[in-house]
Structure 1
Amino acid sequence: MGSPWLRKVHAPRQRLSHLTSFERDAQDAVDLMKALGFDKFSLLGWSDGGITAMMAAAKNPDLISRMVVWGSNAFVSQQDLELYEAVRDAWVDGIAQYAKRPEGSICMELLPLISCPTLIIHGEKDPMVPNFHPQYLLKHIKGSQLHLMPEGKHNLHLRYADEFNKLVENFMED
């Protein structure tokens, strides 16, 4: 019959609200790492993956050793909605649902629960994530560090792969 976790992963997913997808993805990632036998692990998350990583780290502090996030945000502002409209697609409809929550919160209330060392990397020319988002994360995630990449955009890990990989490697080795 297999494990309940495998049935869950392989079962067809119902169309769920974007408002629950980050939480579900965070739990699925943690469940996968546990199923693979990891007692502690680090997280790297880009864009929506960073939101998922922050939620996983906040809800599972004993499991997460370190975390690196880039191109991520903890809330949706009016400026974000305007940027999203410029690239309108199905994702925009989903993420815009958060703007209806108090302060546009995606995971703002969870940030103080993150206790692992966290590196926030941000491209200062990111057209999708305004510069106030990494500043907010830095202020609300205890002991976090921020590294700004002046020429970086949303996909800075691809365009500046060597610099990005060295930053992450150094952070993970500390």
Structure 2
Amino acid sequence: MGFKKYSLLGWSDGGITAMIAAARNPELIKKMVVWGSNAFVSQDDLKLYNMVRDVSKWSARMRQPMEEVYGVQAFAKIWEDWVDGIAQFANRPEGSICMELLPLISCPTLIIHGEKDPMVPSFHPHYLHKNIKGSRLHLIPEGKHNLHLRYAEEFNKLVEDFLEE
């Protein structure tokens, strides 16, 4: 597209992708914002993932938008496959997804996290903040995994201010 530098925003697995891209291509990345992301899979994470494996037990509000996109049976299969796939990282040293890459991230980074995120426990954003040099951590006390939707105004202001600095 002709851009020499660009900023990355990544939610959840998209945040993992952004961190990997920022670590491997520091000359291309101006700034990065990640939320609901992690760099490793712990035993606590595995318990959480297995608790939400069966999408039929999810609330309709959480399940229906995905079922409308993928179909009821396809979404259930896609989600089970995701749980199985992410669980495999627990077999790597320290459960690393991209832990070893975090020190290579040199762009200004904003980490946003909902303190009530049921999918990504609060130790993850603190780990990212500690291991990404010069990063900032902003916690949203009532935020959950989809904080960018529920707290869109606050989230958008945070991101916009950060990117415009």
TM range (shorter): 0.7 to 0.9
Q: Which ranges in structure 2 are unaligned for 5 or more consecutive residues?
A: 54-79
The partner residue of 1:119 within 110, 123, 127 is 110
Quote the offset at 1:147 in angstroms: 0.1
Aligned residue in 2 for 1:95:
86
Quote the offset at 1:90 in angstroms: 1.5
RMSD (CA atoms):
0.4
The partner residue of 1:141 within 120, 125, 132 is 132
- CA deviations 1:29-70 (Å, max 9, x no partner) are xxxxxxx11110000000000000000000000000000000
Is 1:68 aligned with 2:33? Answer: yes
Between the aligned partners of 2:32 and 2:88, the Cα distance in structure 1 is 26
Matched residue count: 139
Query: TM-score scaled to structure 2, two decimals?
Result: 0.84
Aligned residue in 2 for 1:151:
142
Counterpart mapping for 1:15-54 below 5 A: 36-54=1-19
1:107 partner letter: C
Between the aligned partners of 2:100 and 2:22, the Cα distance in structure 1 is 13
Is 1:84 aligned with 2:49? Answer: yes
Aligned residue in 2 for 1:26:
none
State the secondary structure of the residue aligned to 2:107: coil
Between the aligned partners of 2:91 and 2:17, the Cα distance in structure 1 is 20
Between the aligned partners of 1:106 and 1:90, the Cα distance in structure 2 is 17
Quote the offset at 1:127 in angstroms: 0.1
Quote the offset at 1:154 in angstroms: 0.1
Between the aligned partners of 1:123 and 1:140, the Cα distance in structure 2 is 19
Between the aligned partners of 1:113 and 1:160, the Cα distance in structure 2 is 31
State the secondary structure of the residue aligned to 2:138: strand
1:125 partner letter: K
State the secondary structure of the residue aligned to 1:98: helix
Between the aligned partners of 2:42 and 2:7, the Cα distance in structure 1 is 29
Q: Percent identity?
A: 81
1:137 partner letter: L
2:50 partner letter: E
Is 1:55 aligned with 2:10? Answer: no
Quote the offset at 1:142 in angstroms: 0.3
Q: Bigger relative contact order, structure 1 or 2, given CA contacts below 8 A and separation 6+?
A: 2
